């Protein structure tokens, strides 16, 4: 029985299955997902959550020494490409059995860049589960006060905030509240510094449990695979995501006829405060998929903090890193070369081995771990979605056959994902390169190596 659900990877299957929904094919999501529970706020992404995931691939065939020798013959010339810089590592494993099929420097520590999001995804899914939703709530305070409480959903949309304001206005009317209302906002769910080590940056907002649309101020520069979408890619960010969200909420309440007294200020909800209204994020499965498809840093840091909260750790950079590390170790992954510093991979202090990343993917493919399946279904598809949308031209080798998480920092290029061989064998791979000087050339070299795994060894056009 195949170890993977929802992975119809042949080129014809990808083009025929359409249409795309949040980076994933609806047909694929339907096959891979159990029905999500109803409810929740309006959000940009779909509402389905993978539960137990039925297999849709033909049975994966075994390999053996002959197969491993063939991988070495195909990969070694490609990995010697000077575009991959001064140092590189690679690992390929059978995703069904976990058998190591190829490795060079596979146990060494490298800067993983955004491929560390695979680790964040596996950690949060293992401890929280795919069905959990993150709530933003409004509770009553003393007198006629109300408190907007951030739960950690960075994807809350203006429409979702409007739904929350509408429900709050109805609740206040039902309680007989007719006078002025004092609004406060509560961000106590998170602790520690709010700024990432890279500072205020168009790649990530200050990390707050209360924000709207990831703190984006409107307008976006087009990142790789973003398609110019204002909801993804680098963009100007507010320095005060929580205060801005509270001000927008106050304005929405006034539009609903609620007389809000002055500007909202930071406060704290009482432990037994009556809940007036709430909205919920898409399920964690959908958040994981969106994070991986678009390499979304804000979602990554939010999911790392959800891991911390579920593990009894402080929801800070440090607490999240500890919690993610513990969950990965509990999955039986090789941790000797791993150091988790953040959830997104923006921190250059992150370390991971190629073997570790390949085995994270293999864990997600295990039949006994259906909760981890979004790690696979969220991977960008070569030539079709997310950060691989523009990396494989129409007639490129590996197009639609490679599914992988990209990683890019100055001097660092990484790629980790899955391919299905012509014989039906599912492989998980990770390629890590440091000391690169030409990101475009390095990406093409990594893409050629991934294509070779799929049995399509010719180079992409224009490379």
DSSP 225-259: TTTT-TTSSS--B-S-HHHHHHHHHHHHHHHTT--
Q: pLDDT confidence of 67, banded at 50, 70, 90? A: low
* Distance between CA atoms of residues 297 and 294, nearest Å: 9
Mean pLDDT of 284-293: 98
Query: For the chain, percent helix, then strand, then coil, each to nearest 5?
Result: 35, 20, 50
d(CA 124, CA 310): 9
Residue 54 pLDDT level (bands cut at 50, 70, 90): very low
- In this prediction, residue 289 carries a pLDDT of 98
The model's pLDDT over 348-396, given as tens digits with 9 standing for 90+, comes to 999 999 999 999 999 999 999 999 999 999 999 999 999 999 999 888 8
Concerning whether 107 is annotated as a catalytic residue, the answer is no
Q: Looking at 114, 208, 278, 353, which residue is catalytic?
A: 114
Assess contact for 371 and 362: CB atoms under 8 A.
no
Which pLDDT belongs to residue 395? 84
Nearest to 118 by CA among 336, 433, 286, 358: 358
Kindly name the residue from 2, 117, 285, 316 that is annotated as catalytic.
117
Task: Name the nearest CA neighbour of 189 among 106, 93, 310, 55.
Answer: 310
Residue of 284, 137, 140 lying closest to 209 (CA atoms):
137
Q: What residues does 275 pair with on adjacent strands?
A: 139
Are 298 and 205 in contact by the 8 Å Cβ rule? The answer is yes
pLDDT, mean of residues 85-108: 94
Instruction: Calculate mean pLDDT across residues 46-73.
Output: 49
- Residue 309 in this model has a pLDDT that exceeds 90: yes
Query: What is the overall mean pLDDT for the chain?
Result: 85
Instruction: Judge whether 114 counts as a catalytic residue.
Output: yes
Give the span between the Cα atoms of 301 and 306, in whole angstroms.
9
Any residues with CB less than 8 A from the CB of 174 and at least 6 apart, and which?
Answer: none
| pLDDT score recorded for residue 315 | 98
Q: In the predicted model, what is the mean pLDDT of residues 114-124? A: 98
Closest Cα to residue 271, out of 143, 169, 164, 139? 139
Determine the average pLDDT of the residues in 69-87: 92
Picking from 31-35, 123-127, 199-203, 352-356, which range would have the lowest pLDDT averaged per residue? 31-35
Dihedrals phi, psi of 88, to nearest 5 degrees: -150, 160
Q: What was the pLDDT predicted at 32?
A: 42
- Is 208 annotated in the active site? no
Task: For residue range 138-188, list pLDDT tens digits in order.
Answer: 999 988 899 999 999 999 999 999 999 999 999 999 999 888 999 999 999
- The pLDDT value recorded for residue 421 is 87
Give residue 461's pLDDT: 35
Q: CA 147 to CA 164: how far, in whole Å? A: 12
User: What is the predicted pLDDT for the residue at 231?
Assistant: 65
The model's pLDDT over 417-452, given as tens digits with 9 standing for 90+, comes to 999 988 888 999 999 999 999 999 999 999 999 999
Q: What is the mean pLDDT of residues 247-257?
A: 97
Phi then psi dihedrals of residue 280, to 5 deg: -125, 150
Which range among 28-42, 221-235, 292-306 shows the weakest confidence by mean pLDDT?
28-42
Examine the pLDDT at 38 and tell me if it is beyond 60. Answer: no
Higher pLDDT, 54 or 305: 305
* pLDDT (mean) for 64-85: 84
How would you classify the pairing of strands 265-266 and 100-104? unpaired
pLDDT at 397: 82
Query: Among the options 285, 295, 316, 344, which is catalytic?
Result: 295
Number of Cβ within a 10 Å radius of residue 275: 13
Task: Reply yes or no on whether the pLDDT at 18 is more than 80.
Answer: no
pTM reported for the whole predicted model:
0.86
């Amino acid at each position: 029985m195949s170890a993977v659900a929802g992975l119809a990877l042949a080129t014809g299957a990808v083009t025929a299955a359409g249409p795309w929904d949040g980076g994933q094919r609806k047909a694929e999501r339907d096959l891979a997902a159990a029905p999500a529970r109803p409810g929740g706020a309006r959000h940009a992404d779909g509402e389905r959550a993978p539960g137990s995931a039925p297999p849709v691939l033909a049975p994966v065939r075994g390999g053996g020494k002959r197969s491993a020798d063939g991988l070495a013959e195909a990969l070694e010339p490609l990995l010697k490409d000077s575009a991959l810089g001064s140092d590189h590592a690679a690992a390929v494993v059978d995703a069904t059995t976990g058998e190591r099929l190829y490795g060079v420097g596979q146990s060494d520590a490298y800067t993983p860049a955004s491929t560390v999001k695979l680790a964040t995804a596996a950690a949060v899914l293992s401890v929280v589960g795919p069905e959990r939703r993150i709530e933003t709530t409004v509770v009553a305070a003393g007198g006629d006060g109300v408190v907007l409480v951030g739960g950690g959903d960075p994807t809350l949309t203006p429409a979702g905030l409007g739904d929350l304001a509408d429900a709050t206005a109805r609740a206040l009317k039902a309680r007989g509240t007719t006078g002025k209302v004092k609004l406060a906002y509560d961000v106590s769910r998170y602790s520690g510094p709010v700024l990432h080590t890279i500072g205020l940056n168009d790649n990530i907002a200050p990390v707050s449990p209360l924000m709207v649309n990831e703190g984006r101020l409107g307008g976006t520069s087009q990142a790789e695979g973003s398609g110019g979408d204002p909801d993804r890619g680098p963009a100007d960010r507010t320095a005060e995501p929580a205060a801005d969200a509270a001000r927008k909420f106050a304005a929405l309440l006034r539009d609903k006829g609620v007389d809000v007294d002055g500007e909202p200020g930071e406060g704290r909800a009482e432990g037994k405060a009556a809940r007036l209204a709430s909205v919920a994020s898409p399920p964690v499965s959908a958040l994981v998929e969106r994070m991986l498809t678009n390499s979304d840093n804000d979602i990554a840091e939010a999911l790392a903090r959800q891991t911390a909260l579920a593990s009894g750790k402080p929801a800070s950079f440090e607490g999240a890193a500890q919690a993610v590390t513990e969950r990965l170790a509990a999955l039986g992954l090789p941790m000797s070369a791993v150091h988790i510093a953040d959830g997104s991979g923006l921190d250059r202090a992150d370390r991971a081995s190629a073997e570790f990343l390949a085995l994270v993917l293999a864990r997600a493919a295990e039949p006994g771990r259906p909760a981890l399946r979004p790690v696979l279904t969220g991977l960008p598809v070569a030539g079709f979605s997310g950060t691989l949308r523009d990396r494989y031209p129409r007639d490129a080798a590996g197009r639609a056959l490679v599914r992988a998480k990209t990683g890019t920092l100055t001097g660092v290029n990484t790629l980790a994902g899955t391919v299905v061989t012509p014989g039906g064998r599912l492989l998980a791979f990770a390629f890590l390169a440091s000391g690169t000087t030409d990101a475009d050339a390095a990406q093409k070299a990594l893409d050629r190596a991934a294509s070779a795994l799929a049995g399509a060894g010719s180079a992409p056009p224009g490379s």
